[in-house]
Amino acid sequence: MSEQIDPQNTPVDFDPDAMRARYRQERDKRIRQDGNEQYIEMSGDFSHFVDDPYIETAIEREPLIEDVEVLLVGGGFGGLQAGARLRDAGIEDIRIVEKGGDFGGTWYWNRYPGAACDIESYIYLPLVEELGKIPSEKYARAKEILSHARAIGEHYDLYRGAIFQTEVTGMTWDDEAQRWLVATNRGDTLRARFVAMANGPLHRPKLPGIAGIQDFEGHTFHTSRWDYEYTGGGPDGGLNKLADKRVAVIGTGATAIQCVPYVGETAEHLYVFQRTPSSVDIRGNTPTDPDWAKSLEPGWHRERMENFNALVSGVPQAQDLVADGWTDLIGKTMRLFQEAAQNTEAGAPSVAELLEAANFEKMNEIRALVDEKVGDAEVAESLKPYYQMFCKRPCFNDQYLPTFNRPSVDLIDTDGQGVERITSKGIVVAGREYEVDCIIFATGFEVGTSYARRAGYEIVGRTGETLTEYWSKGLRTLHGLQSHGFPNCFIMSGSQGAFTANYPHLLEECSTHIAHILSHARAHGFTTIEPSKAAEQEWVETIIQKADSGLGGLGGKECTPGYYNNEGQENPLAKQASSYGGGSIRFFKILKEWRETGEYEGLEFGRPA
Ligand code: NDP
């Protein structure tokens, strides 16, 4: 096994067996019986954590009672991309209901210092060619991404019909009227012919259920509701009000990796409470070269998105247009995977062996980087991730690791156990109390809970059954987008759809598909669209069959717990809720070919009753 590893990157004392044992040990000590239940829902006593700190003027208005052709839930990229493609299809009567004060979704909420995309912005930002936009940097910052979201809203005239600061509270199908009755927290009744739900996969912040969390008397907030009034400064840093504050950040996921350097720069003292270290690779951000931007030919955006998607799916390309940590990380592994699959010689290493070797090699590189960047050997050791590379979301940042060289910054490694207790004055780990003035929760978003809970409302279908009830024995959709018994309703999520590191690419494909189906319905005077039970069943079976053919290691049960693997707990319904195991390229092709046949196979269309 070890001879498959590139000797250049192999530490002298590297022993694959010992490493396997170490990975297993790191996993085992983190497994907890309470799984997703360890987190607290931000409601009741905790609901203030989700108050919107960014609203400048609270909207006062009378409840709306009206008919609408298409209602989109969510004004993030999903709602905006769907809105754009529906406009392209000539649909004028669109309402977007958005709980924030403006468009932007993830980028409306996540304004913490250092927030930026870490999928290259030239492919991450949607509709850039349509808007004539070239992002200013390889990895654009949150502010620029948010203003692009607003620009999409302007360009496609989606502000007309948008209702902000409004949350959907329920959705019920009225079979007689052939419309969805959509209720909101503003008392609105919107009668929508079609609905598309673009709630976002990671939008409901969560808190850790740490004993004593309510006892803390200092200041607290979640990273997705950054309190600049308290910290001073802005998304580019300069958090000057922290100069006399002792601050705790709980969590070391992708969000913490980005904001910790800025908090560490100004806080009188910063304690970073770590349960599991992230893998932090080189970022290498650069400003956009204007000559390169001028050289781009029409169609460049799609070509670049597809090039990236192909490389991270292991499909060789003549050129790596994006050439970043993702194409290096996934591309290398997938190439090895495919080469091995073709090597049928006796004694050739198996696919699993080669994948593991590539994984060890990459993680050795990541661990070596920690030693290079962090002065104190003990701190460096604590910051090293000991798990396979796709157990946790890989991070890319050049400032995070060196932050721990600051004398005013301490890493409090909880050895996989998490914070023990919160008191009125601070945080307790291993029996020692760290007194702080402020706790910042960088503890992420709900993933493993039910769709309705994360959406914040229930959907009642044709038979009176809720979507939660319908999916209680496993997710059921056609192409991840529609469910039988829930006519005229589209769900924009990756479950039973595709997994791609570049999420807006998936949203683009879903938007095109939805707009195509709705155009057909309008052109023929159909007022209902519903997948047949048989077509849905066939897709469910395809998903289950293909569920095991993915990357391997991505959220596998051998992984340290986290939201990629349902906190390490067996979930008998997980296979059925997974994305299409044949990969996103194949999935997008399935959708395209389905559209091109013009047969709308598996969908049943109805006319006015
Ligand atoms: P995550 O869920 O990734 O991280 C939450 C962190 O909180 C983890 O380190 C977790 O530890 C820790 N934690 C939870 N409970 C406790 C506890 N009791 N004590 C101590 N620590 C605890 O959330 P993020 O907001 O960081 O990221 C969520 C996702 O958002 C990312 O995975 C990514 O997909 C996306 N994102 C994308 C960005 C980008 O594109 N630039 C930037 C930021 C986020 P443990 O790992 O042990 O569970």
Distance CA 269, CA 407 (A): 9
% pLDDT > 90, the chain: 78
| Cα gap 431→587, rounded to integer Å | 51
Q: Is 256 in the pocket of ligand 1 (CB under 6 A)?
A: yes
Nearest CA to ligand 1 atom 37: 254
Question: Is pLDDT larger for residue 331 or for residue 99?
Answer: 99
Quick one: tokens of 591?
Answer: 């959708």
Residue 564 reports pLDDT greater than 50 = yes
Pocket test for ligand 1, best of 31, 393, 411, 434 (most atoms within 8 A of CB): 393
Rounded CA separation 247/269 (Å):
6
Report whether 87 contacts 94 (CB < 8 A).
yes
Ligand 1 mean position, distance from CA 175 (Å): 42
SS3 of 314, please? coil
Please state the separation of Cα 167 from the chain's center in Å: 21
Closest CA to 508 of 587, 445, 576, 448: 587
CA of 496 to the centre of ligand 1 (A): 24
Strand partners, 529: 605
DSSP state of 502: S
- Give me ligand 1 centre to Cα 565, in Å: 13
Q: Whose CA is nearest to atom 35 of ligand 1?
A: 254
Q: For residue 563, report the distance from its CA to the centre of ligand 1, in Å.
A: 9
Helix crossing, 325-342 with 300-311: angle to 10°?
A: 50
Question: Per-residue pLDDT for 5 more than 70?
Answer: no
Q: Kindly state the tokens that stand for 3.
A: 């001879």
Beta carbon of 253 within 6 Å of any ligand 1 atom: yes
Q: Convert 291-312 to b/e letters by CB count within 10 Å (16 or more is b).
A: eeeeeeeeeebeebbbbbbbbb
Distance 606 CA to ligand 1 centre (A): 45
Give residue 223 CA to ligand 1 midpoint distance, Å. 10
Q: Is 213 in the pocket of ligand 1 (CB under 6 A)?
A: no
28 forms beta bridges with none
Beta strands in 152-229 (DSSP E): 162-163, 168-174, 179-184, 189-197, 207-208, 219-222
Distance, CA of 228 to CA of 111 (rounded, Å)? 10
Pairwise CA distance, residues 234 & 238, whole Å: 7
Measured in Å, residue 442 CA sits from the centre of ligand 1 at 6
To the nearest whole number, what is the mean pLDDT of the chain?
93
Question: Residue 465: CA atoms inside 13 Å, Cβ hemisphere, count?
Answer: 12
Q: What confidence category does residue 347 fall into, taking pLDDT thresholds of 50, 70 and 90?
A: confident
Which residue, among 195, 196, 187, has the nearest Cα to 167 in the 3D structure? 187
Q: Distance between CA atoms of 265 and 134, rounded to whole angstroms?
A: 31
Distance CA 82, CA 347 (A): 51
Q: Does ligand 1 have an atom closer than 6 angstroms to the CB of 307?
A: no
Q: Partners of 141 in the beta sheet?
A: 116
Q: What is the mean pLDDT of residues 492-502?
A: 91
Identify the residue whose C-alpha is closest to ligand 1 atom 33: 254
CA-nearest residue for atom 17, ligand 1, is 418
Q: How far apart, in whole angstroms, are the C-alpha atoms of residue 488 and residue 69?
A: 11
Angle at which helix 351-373 crosses helix 16-30, to 10 degrees, equals: 80
Query: Which domains can be identified in the chain, with CATH numbers?
Result: 35-48+205-278+392-441 (3.50.50.60), 65-204+447-606 (3.50.50.60)
pLDDT at 496 over 70: yes
* Ligand 1 atom having least distance to the Cα of 223: 25
pLDDT score for 530: 98
Q: Is the CB of 563 under 6 A from ligand 1?
A: yes
**393 CB-near residues (< 8 Å, 6+ apart):** 253, 254, 278, 564
Q: For the segment 271-330, what is each residue's pLDDT rounded down to a tens digit?
A: 999 999 999 999 999 999 999 999 999 999 999 999 999 988 878 788 999 998 888 877
Which residue has the CA at smallest separation from atom 14 of ligand 1?
443
- Bridge partners, 95 (sequence order): 71
Residue 303 vs residue 7, higher pLDDT: 303
From ligand 1's centre to the CA of 443, what distance in Å?
Answer: 5
Confidence category of residue 112, pLDDT binned at 50, 70, 90: very high
User: Does the C-beta of 444 come closer than 6 Å to ligand 1?
Assistant: yes
Inter-residue contact 119 to 502 (CB < 8 Å): yes
- Amino acid identity of residue 277, one-letter, is P
Return the amino acid letter for 16: P
Ligand 1 in reach of 584 Cβ (< 6 A): no
Ligand 1 neighbour 118 (Cβ under 6 A): yes
Whether 489 lines ligand 1, by a CB cut-off of 6 Å, is no
CA distance 532 to 516: 18
Cα(392) to centroid(ligand 1), Å: 9
Q: 26: closest CA among 561, 593, 544?
A: 561
User: What is the reported pLDDT for 417?
Assistant: 96
- Ligand 1, atom 15, lies closest to the CA of 208
Q: In this structure, what token pair is assigned to residue 143?
A: 């502010």
Among 425, 442, 421, 445, which Cα is nearest to 39's? 445
H-helix or E-strand spanning residue 591: helix 584-597
Split at pLDDT 50, 70, 90, the class of 548 is low
Q: Is 210 in the pocket of ligand 1 (CB under 6 A)?
A: yes
pLDDT band at residue 547 using 50, 70 and 90 as cut-offs: confident
Higher pLDDT, 353 or 337: 353
325 lines ligand 1 (CB under 6 A): no
